[in-house]
Amino acid sequence: MIVDERMVTYINSLDTGSGQFLDQLELQAKKDRVPIIRREMQSFLKVLLQIKKPTKILEVGTAVGFSALLMAKYTPEDTRIVTIEKYEKRIPVAKANFQAAGMDHRITLLEGDALEILREMEDSFDFIFMDAAKGQYIHFYPEVMRLLAPEGILVSDNVLQEGDFIESHFAVERRNRTIYKRMREYLYVLKHDERLETSILPVGDGAAVSYKMKTERQ
């Protein structure tokens, strides 16, 4: 927990939910132990999306489709979403959820390895949501930046890994050290890329919000 648990519990107690379909999907995902964005991150995304009003969204990491559906609900009807998922067992579940929610005409699911798909894409997006394998963010980054339009927003979820990053490298479990190293590198790149203005926030399990400037800083 990167924020006091009592504070998070209180903030989430004020939440009014995201509608019957999404609330039920959230409960089912938790029951099935499928990781989806946390309540506080959901609230943050809702506000950010309604401020930005993106027309084209790219999501890296679909899971069962919860966040794609959330983004569809809180953006204009003409907003289109492309989402990428590799895990075969979750793909048909996500597709069924898109159809059941009546959003399959707005959401396109691309199946396969995210890096390979990103490299083949030629489109441009004004909002990109990263919520895939955390150790891969740094590898996705060059392609994501290529696809992010000027004045676009990149949101990277789960970047603080339960607060592990303030610990010594040797205090982190050996199996998590690669992710620890790569995520530290990723956050450093986000903060030092002259094309971006980035804020790292203790929301959920940590979120980095990056704005791609129209012209690079001099």
Work out the number of other CB atoms within 10 angstroms of the CB of residue 217.
Answer: 8
CB 186 within 8 A of CB 138: yes
Other CB atoms within 10 A of residue 152 CB: 23
pLDDT digits over 189-218, tens only?
Answer: 999 999 999 999 998 889 999 999 987 655
Model pTM above 0.85: yes
**Reduced 3-state DSSP string for 80-105:** EEEEEECCCCCHHHHHHHHHHCCCCC
Helices 66-73, 39-52: crossing angle, 10 deg rounding = 40
Q: At 154, is the secondary structure helix, strand, or coil?
A: strand
Q: Which residues contact 194 (CB under 8 A, 6 or more apart)?
A: 216, 217
Structure confidence at residue 156 (pLDDT):
97
Sheet holding 107-111, edge to edge: 107-111, 80-85, 56-60, 125-130, 148-157, 207-212, 196-201
Q: What does the pLDDT read at residue 176?
A: 59
What b-and-e string marks burial along 103-136, b requiring 16 or more CB atoms within 10 Å of the CB? bbebbebbeeebbebbeeeeeebbbbbbbbebeb
What tens-digit pLDDT sequence spans the chain (218 residues)? 567 888 889 988 999 999 999 999 999 999 999 999 999 999 999 999 999 999 999 999 999 999 999 999 999 999 999 999 999 999 999 999 999 999 999 999 999 999 999 999 999 999 999 999 888 999 999 999 999 999 999 999 999 876 555 555 555 556 556 777 888 899 999 999 999 999 999 988 899 999 999 876 55
Phi, psi for residue 22 in degrees, rounded to 5: -70, -35
- pLDDT of 198 reads 98
State the Cα–Cα distance between residues 131 and 133, nearest whole angstrom.
7
Q: Which of 12, 71, 4, 3 is nearest to 38 (CA)?
A: 12
Question: CA angle at residue 112 from 110 to 116, to 5 degrees?
Answer: 100
pLDDT for position 167: 53
Q: Decide: helix, strand or coil at residue 149.
A: strand
> For position 84, what pLDDT does the model report?
98
